[in-house]
Amino acid sequence: MPLFAQITNLLAALFLLVAFAMLAQRRIVHLINLYALQGGILALSIVAVGYGTHQESLYLSAALNGLLKVIVIPLILYRLVRRLGLAWNRENLLRVPTLLLVGLVLNIFAFDVALPIAHLAGTINRDTFGIALASVLLSLLMMIVRTTALTQVLGFLSLENGLIFAATSVTYGMPMMVELGIALDVIVGVFILGVFFFHIREEFDSLDLHRFDRHEE
Amino acid sequence: MIILSILFMPLAGAFVLGLYGHRPWAFAANIGFSAATAVATAVMTARVLAHGPFLALHDQAFVDPFNVFLVDLTAFVTLTTAVFSRAYMHIESHMGRLTAGRLRLYHSMFQLFALTMLVALLTNNIGILWVAMEGATLSTTLLVSLYRTPASLEAAWKYFILCGVGIALALFGTIMLYFSAHALIGGQASLLWTDLDRVRTRLDPTIVGVAFAFLLLGYGTKVGLVPVHNWLPDAHAEGPTPISAVLSGLLLNVALYAVVRFQVLADGSLRDRWPNQLMMAFGLLSVLVAAFSLARQRDIKRLLSYSSIEHMGLATFAFGMGGPIAIFAALLHMTVHSLTKSSLFFSGGHIAQKTGTQRIDQIQGLLGRNPAMGWAFMLGTLAILGTPPFGVFTSEFLILTVAIHKEPWALPFLAVGLGVAFAALFGRMQAMVFGETRVPKAPAPTSLWPSFLHLALVLTLGLAIPPALSRWYTAAARLLGH
Amino acid sequence: MTSRALILQCLQCALVFAGAPLLAGWVEQCRAWFGNRHGAGPLQPYRVLRKLWRKELVVAHAASWVFRTAPYLLVAAMIIAGSIVPLLAPIVPLAPAADAIALVGVFAFARMVSALAAMDIGTGFGSMGARREMLIGFLAEPALLMVLFTPALISHSTSLAVIVRQLTTTRLFLYPSMAFAASAYVMVLLAENARIPVDNPDTHLELTMIHGALHLEYAGRHLALMEWAGAIKLATYMAIGIALFLPWGMSATGSASGIALATGLLAVKMTAAGTALAAIETLLAKLRLFRVPEFLGTAFMVAVLGILVHFLLGT
């Protein structure tokens, strides 16, 4: 196995590890740190794939992802956290071991789905497909169990990280136009959510989504 | 060129109205931009009629019999909704529910939403399709929470998160499809639908199977298929009514369009009817759940949105059955549902505005209070329930006929679903339209004519489908069923 | 069995036995530095041991032979464990005597002995500490086994010597699964050696003690032996970690120059590992006891993930 493929595999494993850490992390600030770390791993793995396959366009994609996910979005989130006064907030997350166990089951499921696919694929990094699928499922789980608006959004962003990871490590990147479109959507989405947080807090005095009344079904 | 001009109109509209959307002339400008878009699509349609389907913009955009009528429908409903929106939003801003900034946002996002719909329909690139669908979510999120009430914020949050997750799953499916085609086509072309369609029988079935599951669940969220429909009633009920009309009339259609495009690819690759069965199951479940939920609604706009879920489920079921007649019926159903439902939202919106409530039990005697409004709502409800001679009857009749032949097991479920929905909607409508009223008669708002126009079109489609449209449907059915 | 291997084995035993307090002292010194204190120097544990050794031996009236033999058994178990782990070269004669799983068994035996000894007197704190210690062991052992399975799967053997030989002889190869195993191992190491965040080795509050409560009734020579056993345990755990995750530089043949190089490298690795441990302890806060199962559950999950990743990626 060539060295770059080993490095991508290692980064893939670290990516999954961070996804797990995000699932179990209670403190919002640490969650943002983990998100930035995940973005960094993502950018590095894109660089590794670009180096291995001699695709210069991937360097651009790595730079874009790195800029967006390691610097811009975490900075926006830090600002939001500071302005909303959530710096030391921690979420009541019950039963972390159970949560991790469910995550583990999801992982087994994802790997099981991925195994036949991985053997068919021609690309060198086919093995990372299962990891990408697993981290997507983990982010979904995180969105389900989180109860505050900000943490749900972090789950959403990490979901998007997993998707980009799938796109680059498995297929060597989507066409640039599509990637730019996705990046644009993400950044606009983050801005809209930022606006949202203030509206929600204005109306509900909290970002805890349990405060949403149950309206008529 | 013509495609670029179609897309340019709403884009320019979004820019101009983003700056001046609060001026008194903005309401008319909104209609103007929509009309310009409609004219451009008409020109394009004429060209398609004359020269047949074509690819454009380096194969990134294409027009074929399937999307051409949806593009026309989208442009048309956007135009009529803009007309309705003029009267409706005038009243809203007079009532002081909107500031200048929010009005700018509303007009700009209305045009942007139209743009994303048109891009999603016209693009040949499944990646761009995804970007456009996500753009549609983003542009309407802030509109759902336009009134900033707690309920509307909750609705918008639900809408954003559920559709965001759904659309993310769809992206995963898109990536997998790209992945499966990469080995066969290679490079940029692996994302082009026409190229994928060419090699669809050689795509790897395992990957395509998983990809289709993700795509159906992902875009199905936007179609409003049960069990991922939760956002839909909230988003429809809390946003301004013109937005409810375009969400129901257009967004759901476009999302279903995306699902069907991928179903064609999956069919070719899998050949074991698994995608069809999946779609039939989702469709049937949506019909049933929506029908029984209809009986419990107390809010007029939520009532209408559950009916949308039911009808989209029916169309999904028809696409799932496959075969030329079922697909013909499904396409017709998409058209008539879109027209009827937006018409109902127009009249329903005015009703809510005049009576000052969306609660069904507080609305009575519409015919006595305002005959035009009452008639529009009554005829619209009758049309959506599939009473002859409206177009919905034709499409539902066709779907049921095919179901008797091909999927007899589904018939009891369909019959129960449609029956319960009929009873629920008809009963609600009767209570609202008839009955005593003590409120004096009010003059009809000027913008009810789009509502009647839609109903007239639905009636025409029920009596006789124009040959040109029929040819399109047949050609599209052949394209999707081959 | 060559005489060279015998000499090597004796050297390793001596190194583990004599060097362990130095490592513990180094960790304490680093913690002092990180905490902006001067510290007593890395040799402090030796002074403590000497002082304790000279003290009069006091044994509780209720103590039985279990209580009296426990310190000796503990030290013996730890020295056995320390001699099994490949430290300088994977050819030590005792290495085939026990594989990784048996090694876990040795640690379990030591834990049982210390728990029994603590309960022997019948004081409240002793039995409370024993209970807590068994709880932690109960949770940490499966995690440790899972950690060991990943390298075992890679090298198709549960023998530590074979694992190390396999890992050192193949050319540089990144094992993603080992990243998981390593993270889980660090967590298990913290728990098993009564470090922060699971236990505070410095605490004087009996109610918060876990490991410390086991030693409360001991004095003099016995206490010195217990402390010494603890230090050897820490050194052995670090040696296992180094053997599994950073085995490079170990002498494959056991030649004199190779051993000299390996010893030098081992000193560097141990110093670095000790510094890292001190850094972890400084950065983290102690967990509440009820959170410890969560902590070790996480370690277990991560280790299992490592195995899964191994199966998925095939490396």
Distances, alpha carbon B189 to alpha carbons A55, A90, B159, B352, C306, in Å: 17, 47, 33, 49, 37
> How much is the ipTM here?
0.85
Residue bearing the bigger pLDDT, A135 or B482: A135
Rounded CA separation C240/C100 (Å): 10
B51 by DSSP, 3-state: which? helix
pLDDT in tens, B200-259: 888 888 888 888 999 999 999 999 898 888 888 888 888 889 999 999 889 999 999 999
pLDDT in the model for residue B81: 93
Rounded CA separation B236/B244 (Å): 5
Tell me how crowded residue C285 is: count the other CB atoms within 10 A of its CB.
Answer: 9
Per the CB < 8 A criterion, the answer to whether C88 and C251 are in contact is yes
pLDDT in the model for residue B76: 93
Q: Which of C139, C291, C313 to mutate to probe the A interface, most A CBs <10 Å? A: C313
Rounded CA separation B163/A108 (Å): 26
| Beta carbons within 8 Å of C283's beta carbon, 6+ residues apart | none
pLDDT in tens, C48-74: 999 999 998 888 888 889 999 999 999
With cut-offs at 50, 70 and 90, classify the pLDDT of residue B482: low
- Given A7, A103, A127, which is nearest C312 (Cβ)? A127
Surface-to-core class of residue B214, CB atoms within 10 Å of its CB (0-12 exposed, 13-18 middle, 19+ buried)? buried
Q: Which residue of A has its CA nearest to C172?
A: A3
Kindly state the tokens that stand for B268: 């070719």
Kindly state the tokens that stand for C225: 């032996």
Q: Which residue of C has its CA nearest to A99?
A: C298
Residue A27, beta-bridge partner list: A90
Q: Please, what is the average pLDDT of chain B?
A: 87
Q: Which helix H or strand E contains B54, and what residues bound it?
A: strand B54-56
Per the CB < 8 A criterion, the answer to whether B162 and B221 are in contact is yes
Q: What is the DSSP string of B246-297?
A: HIIIIIHHHHHHHHHHHHHHHHHHH-SSHHHHHHHHHHHHHHHHHHHHHTT-
- Where along chain A do its domains lie? 3-211
Say which range, A1-5, A25-29, B140-144, C195-199, has the weakest mean pLDDT: A1-5
Distance from CA of B246 to the nearest CA of A (A): 21
B362 by DSSP, 3-state: which? helix
Distance from CA of A133 to the nearest CA of C (A): 12
Q: Number of CB pairs < 8 Å for A and B?
A: 118
CA B347 to chain centre: 17
CB contact under 8 A, A178 and B156: no
| Beta carbons within 8 Å of C228's beta carbon, 6+ residues apart | C20, C21, C49, C75
CB contact under 8 A, C179 and A13: yes
CB contact under 8 A, B172 and A122: no
Per-residue exposure over B325-336, b if at least 16 CB sit within 10 Å of its own CB, e if not: bbbbbbbbbbbb
Q: Which of B395, B392, B372 is nearest to B382 (CA)?
A: B392
Q: Which of B171, B293, B358 to mutate to probe the A interface, most A CBs <10 Å? A: B171
| Beta carbons within 8 Å of C56's beta carbon, 6+ residues apart | C219, C220
pLDDT in tens, B78-120: 999 999 998 888 888 888 788 888 888 899 999 999 999 999 9
CB contact under 8 A, A175 and B298: no
Asked if B299 reaches chain A (Cβ–Cβ under 8 Å), the answer is yes
Q: Which of B112, B130, B131 to mutate to probe the A interface, most A CBs <10 Å? A: B131
Kindly state the tokens that stand for B288: 């049933």
Residue located via tokens 């470090």: C195
Q: Which residue of B has its CA nearest to A120?
A: B204
**Predicted structure pTM score:** 0.83
pLDDT in the model for residue B280: 93
pLDDT in the model for residue A92: 66
Q: Is the pLDDT of residue C190 over 60?
A: yes
Q: What is the DSSP string of B208-226?
A: HHHHHHHHHHHHHHHHT-T
Per the CB < 8 A criterion, the answer to whether B117 and A178 are in contact is no
pLDDT in the model for residue C100: 86
Rounded CA separation C310/C282 (Å): 33
Residue located via tokens 């956007």: B78
B85 by DSSP, 3-state: which? helix
DSSP 8-state assignment for residue B446: G
Tell me how crowded residue C56 is: count the other CB atoms within 10 A of its CB.
Answer: 7
Instruction: Name the A residues in 123-142 with CB < 8 Å from any C CB.
Output: 127-128, 130-131
Kindly state the tokens that stand for C155: 């090298």
Distance from CA of C278 to the nearest CA of A (A): 21
pLDDT in the model for residue A118: 64
Residue located via tokens 């509209």: B13
Per the CB < 8 A criterion, the answer to whether B230 and B223 are in contact is no
Kindly state the tokens that stand for B175: 């990536």
CB contact under 8 A, A178 and B302: no
Asked if B289 reaches chain A (Cβ–Cβ under 8 Å), the answer is no
CA C295 to chain centre: 18
Length of chain B: 482
Residues of A in Cβ contact (< 8 Å) with B150: 203-204, 212-213
CB contact under 8 A, A6 and C302: no
pLDDT in the model for residue A120: 62
Rounded CA separation B219/B171 (Å): 9
Asked if A1 reaches chain C (Cβ–Cβ under 8 Å), the answer is yes
Phi, psi of C38 (to 5 degrees): -80, -40
pLDDT in the model for residue A216: 40
Rounded CA separation B64/B102 (Å): 38
Q: Which residue of C has its CA nearest to A24?
A: C298
Hey, which chains touch C, using 3+ CB pairs under 8 Å? A
CB contact under 8 A, B138 and A212: no
Q: Which helix H or strand E contains C308, and what residues bound it?
A: helix C292-313
- Residues A184, A187, A188, A191: what is their CA dihedral angle, to the nearest 10 degrees? -170
CA B214 to chain centre: 21
Q: Which of A95, A72, A77 is nearest to A87 (CA)?
A: A77
Q: Is the pLDDT of residue B182 over 70?
A: yes
Q: Is the pLDDT of residue A125 over 80?
A: no
Per the CB < 8 A criterion, the answer to whether A168 and A46 are in contact is yes
- Where along chain B do its domains lie? 324-482
Conformational region of residue B52, where left means phi above 0, alpha means psi within -120 to 50, and beta covers everything else = left
The tally of CA atoms less than 13 A away on the side-chain side of residue C165 is: 15
Kindly state the tokens that stand for C285: 């806060």
pLDDT in tens, C150-189: 989 888 888 888 888 888 777 667 788 888 899 999 999 9
CB contact under 8 A, B168 and A216: no
pLDDT in tens, A53-100: 787 888 888 888 889 889 988 998 888 888 877 767 666 666 777 888
Distance from CA of A11 to the nearest CA of C (A): 8
Residue bearing the bigger pLDDT, B381 or C258: B381
pLDDT in the model for residue A217: 39
Q: Stretch A145-166: mean pLDDT, rounded? A: 85
Rounded CA separation C262/A147 (Å): 53
Q: Which of A145, A136, A171 is nearest to A55 (CA)?
A: A171
- Given C174, C294, C301, which is nearest A9 (Cβ)? C174
Per the CB < 8 A criterion, the answer to whether B246 and B179 are in contact is no
Residue bearing the bigger pLDDT, C95 or B380: B380
Asked if A100 reaches chain C (Cβ–Cβ under 8 Å), the answer is yes
pLDDT in the model for residue A215: 45
* Most confident residue range from B89-98, C224-233, C257-266: C224-233
Q: Which of A41, A113, A127, A141 to mutate to probe the C interface, most C CBs <10 Å? A: A127
pLDDT in the model for residue C24: 92
CB contact under 8 A, C311 and A111: yes
Q: What is the DSSP string of C229-281?
A: HHHHHHHHHHHHHHHHH--TT--SS--HHHHHHHHHHHHHHHHHHHHHHHHHH
Kindly state the tokens that stand for C298: 């996480």
Length of chain A: 217
- Given A122, A149, A163, which is nearest B168 (Cβ)? A163
Kindly state the tokens that stand for C271: 């110093």
With cut-offs at 50, 70 and 90, classify the pLDDT of residue B21: confident
Distance from CA of A71 to the nearest CA of B (A): 22
Per the CB < 8 A criterion, the answer to whether B241 and B88 are in contact is yes
Rounded CA separation C32/C55 (Å): 27
Helix B26-51 to helix B65-94 angle (10° resolution) is 170
Asked if B234 reaches chain A (Cβ–Cβ under 8 Å), the answer is yes
Q: Is the pLDDT of residue C315 over 80?
A: no
Give Rg (Cα) of chain B.
21
CB contact under 8 A, C312 and A130: yes
Residues of C in Cβ contact (< 8 Å) with A113: none
Rounded CA separation C2/C14 (Å): 19
With cut-offs at 50, 70 and 90, classify the pLDDT of residue A210: low
